[in-house]
Structure 1
Amino acid sequence: MKVLITDIHHGNGGGHVTYVLNLLKGFKDDFDLTVAAPPTGRLYKSASGESGVRVLPGLYTSRPLALVKEVARLRSFLRQERFDIIHVNGGADHRHIMLASIGLRHRAAIVWTKHNTSPVSSFGHRLRARFGTDICIAVSDYVGQMLSDSRYRHSPIHVVRNGIDANAWQPADPQARQHYRQQLFGKLDDDVLVFGSTGGTDYNKGWLVLAEAISRLDSDSKSRFRMVVAGDPPSPEMRSKIKSLHVEDQIVFPGLVKDVRPVLGACDVGFVLSYREAASYACYESMAMGLPTLVSDAGGLPENIRHGMDGWIVPTGNVDLLVPVLRQALADPACLPVMGRSARERVTHRFSSSHFLGDTKKAYISACTVASNQLAPI
C-alpha cells in the first residue's frame, strides 16, 4: 500500500507530530511511506532520519496566489505518484489535498485524523466533509462524538486511541530517580513530592492551576511540593503569575528536552490539567513511567484514567477541588506507587502501540474500500 502522510506544523507540533512519527516507525516495513511537511518543523527533521521513509517539503499556505500554485504542484504530484491512501492531519493540508484531488482519475482514499477538540462546524469543514474525506479517525470517544454530531457523520468514523511503546517507557529505579531529582532540584528531603508534566507551558495546559493549588496549602505542606514542567520557556506573564503565588522557587522549567524520560523519572506524580485536550501523549508517557497521573475532565482525558486507581480526575480549572488531592497525596504517599503500577498496567493494555497501529491499518483498509465504491468528487 502506498501512503502519503501530511502535516502542517512548522515548529514542535506537539502530539500531532508524535502521532505521525509513531505511524512512520510502525508502518515503514509494511507500507511505501511518503511524508510531506514544512521543512522548518520537527516532523520533517525527525522523519528525515527514519530509514525507509521518503520525506518531502510540503507547504499549505492560505494566501490565494500561493495556495493556487501549491495545489497545482500537489495535483501533478498526486497524478504521478498514484497513492492508495492520503492521511491528512490538519485543516490546511486537508484543504490542499481535497482541492488537488478533485476530478483525478485515480483518487487516493483520504483519511483525516482529528487530534483536537476545536469546533468542526465551519464552512471549510463542511466542504472537506463533503468532498475530501473518506474515513475519519478520532483519537478518543469524546472526539468521535464531536464528529458524529457534525457533517463528518456521513463518513465512517473510527476511534483509534493513540498508542505508546511501554517497553521504551520504563519506571525509573530508586537510584536513577534520586539522580534525576538531584539534577533538577538539587538535594530534596525524602518526603517531598514532585509533580511533573511534559505537556508544555501553554496556558491551556493548566499547569498554573496546580501552582495555585500548591500556593493555598499551609506553609509546611506547601514546602513539601515541587513541580517540573517541560516545554517552551513560560512567558513573562506566566512567570509573573507564579511569582505572585510565591511558588517560583518550587517550579523548574527544563525547556524543550529531547528525551523527557529523565524528567518524568524524577517525579512521584504526573499531571495533565488541560483546559482542552483530545487525548494526550503526555498522559500516556506519565502512566507508562509508572506514575499516578492527575488529569482534568477536559475532552478525552477522563477516558485515560480510572479515578482513584490510576490517578485522579478533577474538574477543569477548579483549584478548590485540586487542593484536597494534594493533601491526600501528602497524607498517604504509600498509595502513589500502587496507583502508579495500576496506571502502567492500564496504558500497556489500553493504549499500546500495537493496538494503535493495528486499528489504524484497519481504518486504511476500510478507507480504500469506501473510496473504491464512490465516484471521484467533481
Structure 2
Amino acid sequence: MRVLQLVTQDRGGPVDHAVEVAVELARRGHESHLVGPPGGRLAAAAAQGVAVHEAEVTSKTDLSGARAVAAVVRRLRPDLLHLQDRRAGLVGRVIGAQAAIPTVYTLHGVPDQLAPLVPGNLEIAPARARDRLAYLRLERLLASGPRTAVVTPCEALAQYARQHVGIRPDRVHTVYNGVGGDFLADAPRVATHGGELGALWLGLMEPVKRVADLVAATARLPQVHLTLVGDGPERAQLEGAVAAAGSGGRVSFAGFQAEPAPYLRAADVFVLCSAAEACPMALLQAMACGTPVVATRVGGVPEIVRHGMDGFLVDPGRPEQLRSALAWLAADLPLRRAMSISARRRVLERFAVEHMVEDLLDVYARTMACVS
C-alpha cells in the first residue's frame, strides 16, 4: 500500500505521531511517504526508510503551499492520504476529494475555545458563536465527503466528534496513540533512594498546560527537584514565578529537547498538569520509559493511566492534589518501583506503535473500501 501522510507543523505530538506511523509502515513493507515542512523530524523519518517530501503550508489560506502538496499527491498517486494536524486535515481533504483519493484525518485535539466539549476538560478560552461555525460546522462538512474517515486517539475525543461535531458514527474510529523507537529501546531507569523525587514536565509552555500549578505545588516540597523540558510563550512568566517562590535552586529549565527520552528515563516521576488533553504523546513516552506519572484527569488521560497502578490521577486546577501525590511518591520508593514496572507494561501491552499501526491499517482498508 502506498500511504502519504501530511503534516504542516515541524514539531509537537502530531508530528511525533506521524513519524512513528510512517516508520512502522515502512518497516512492514508498505510504501511510506511523509510530506511536511523541512526540519529534524522529517530527517529522522528519512533515516528510517520513509520517503520524505518538503512542502510547507503556513496557514489555511496558503495557496502556494497547498499547490505544492497537491503536486506531490499528483506525482505519487497514493492509495490513501493520512492527515495529521488541523491544517493538514483541511488542505488534505480538499486535495483528496479533487483527486478521488481516500483520506483519513487524525483529530488529535480540539481548539482551546471548544475544550469543555471533551469530557473532563476545563474551560480554556471563552467560546464565541463563530468558533462553532469555524470548527464544528467546517469539520462536519469536511468529514462528510466520499471515502473519508476520522481517527481519534481516545474515546473522549470520539464522543466529541460524534455528539458535538455531528460526524457519522461509522466514520469515527478510535485508535490510541502508540510509542516506539528510543522510548522502548532500553530498560527503564528506577530510582535507587527514597526521600527525594526528581519530577519532570515536558511540553509547550502555554496556558492550557497549567505549568504554574506544578511550580506552585513543588514550591512547598523541598524534597522535589523539578525539571521543565520545553519552551513557549509562558516561559518568562514561569521563571518569574519560580524566582518569587524562592525555589530556583530546585527547578531547572532545560528548554526544548528534540530527543526527550534521556530526560524521561532520568526522572522519578513525570507530571502532566494540563487543563485539557486528548491522548498526550509525552505521557505515553514517559510510561514507555518506565516513569511513574502524576496526571490530571482530563480528556483521554483516564483511559491511559490506571490510578494507583501506573501513577496517580488528580483533578485539573488543583495544585494541592499535585502536591499530595508528589509527596506520597517521594516517601514511598517501593510504590514508585511498582508503578514503574506497571507503566511500562501498560504501554507494551496496549500503546506500542505496533498495536496502533495494526488498528490504522484496518481503518485504511475500511475507508478505501467505502463507496460513499
SS at match of 2:81: strand
Q: 1:109 to 1:155 in 2, by over 3 A?
A: farther
Q: Which AA in structure 1 matches 2:53?
A: L
Which residue pairs with 1:232 in the alignment? 231
Which residue pairs with 1:296 in the alignment? 296
Cα deviation for residue 156 of structure 1 reads 1.7
Which residue pairs with 2:369 in the alignment? 369
Which residue pairs with 1:16 in the alignment? 14
Which residue pairs with 1:117 in the alignment? 110
Cα deviation for residue 347 of structure 1 reads 1.5
1:138-175 C-alpha deviation (Å, 9 max, x unpaired): 1011111111112323552111111113632531266x
Distance 1:153 1:173 in 2: 45
Cα deviation for residue 297 of structure 1 reads 1.0
SS at match of 1:274: coil
Q: Which moved more, 1:358-367 or 1:261-270?
A: 261-270
The match for 1:139 among 144, 153, 158 is 153
Contact 1:140/1:160 (<8 A) preserved? yes
Q: 1:286 to 1:94 in 2, by over 3 A?
A: closer
Which residue pairs with 2:52 in the alignment? 55
Q: Which AA in structure 1 matches 2:15?
A: V
Which residue pairs with 1:186 in the alignment? none
Contact 1:170/1:288 (<8 A) preserved? no
Which residue pairs with 2:185 in the alignment? 168
Distance 2:194 2:339 in 1: 19
The match for 1:157 among 150, 172, 179 is 172
Q: Which AA in structure 2 matches 1:57?
A: E
1:69-127 C-alpha deviation (Å, 9 max, x unpaired): 444554454344322100011222222223334454xx111000011133474343233
- Tell me how many residue pairs correspond in the alignment: 346
Cα deviation for residue 269 of structure 1 reads 1.2
Distance 1:193 1:93 in 2: 40
Q: Which AA in structure 2 matches 1:243?
A: A
SS at match of 1:306: coil
Which residue pairs with 1:181 in the alignment? none
Q: Which moved more, 1:223-232 or 1:198-207?
A: 198-207
Contact 1:37/1:43 (<8 A) preserved? no
Contact 1:129/1:151 (<8 A) preserved? no
Contact 1:273/1:316 (<8 A) preserved? yes
Q: 1:172 to 1:122 in 2, by over 3 A?
A: same
Unaligned runs of 5+ in 2: 115-131
1:198-231 C-alpha deviation (Å, 9 max, x unpaired): 334334323321221122x3xxxx2211011212
Contact 1:117/1:276 (<8 A) preserved? no
RMSD: 2.4
Distance 2:69 2:205 in 1: 35
Which residue pairs with 2:87 in the alignment? 92
Distance 2:18 2:311 in 1: 28
Q: TM-score, normalised by structure 1?
A: 0.83
Which residue pairs with 2:205 in the alignment? 201
Q: Which moved more, 1:293-302 or 1:248-257?
A: 248-257
Q: 1:267 to 1:37 in 2, by over 3 A?
A: same
Q: 1:134 to 1:251 in 2, by over 3 A?
A: same
1:280-319 C-alpha deviation (Å, 9 max, x unpaired): 1211122122222100012111211111111100001111
SS at match of 1:152: coil
Q: Which AA in structure 1 matches 2:292?
A: P
Structure-to-structure mapping, 1:139-288, within 5 angstroms = 139-149=153-163, 150-153=165-168, 155-165=170-180, 167-172=184-189, 191-215=195-219, 217=220, 222-232=221-231, 235-288=235-288
Unaligned runs of 5+ in 1: 178-188
Q: Which AA in structure 2 matches 1:267?
A: A
Distance 1:347 1:47 in 2: 22
Q: TM-score, normalised by structure 2?
A: 0.85
SS at match of 2:176: coil
Which residue pairs with 2:6 in the alignment? 6
Q: 1:162 to 1:49 in 2, by over 3 A?
A: same
Distance 2:177 2:206 in 1: 22
Distance 2:229 2:146 in 1: 37
Q: Which AA in structure 2 matches 1:134?
A: T
Distance 1:361 1:311 in 2: 31
Structure possessing the higher radius of gyration over alpha carbons: 1
Distance 2:154 2:194 in 1: 38
Q: 1:103 to 1:191 in 2, by over 3 A?
A: closer
Contact 2:147/2:368 (<8 A) preserved? no
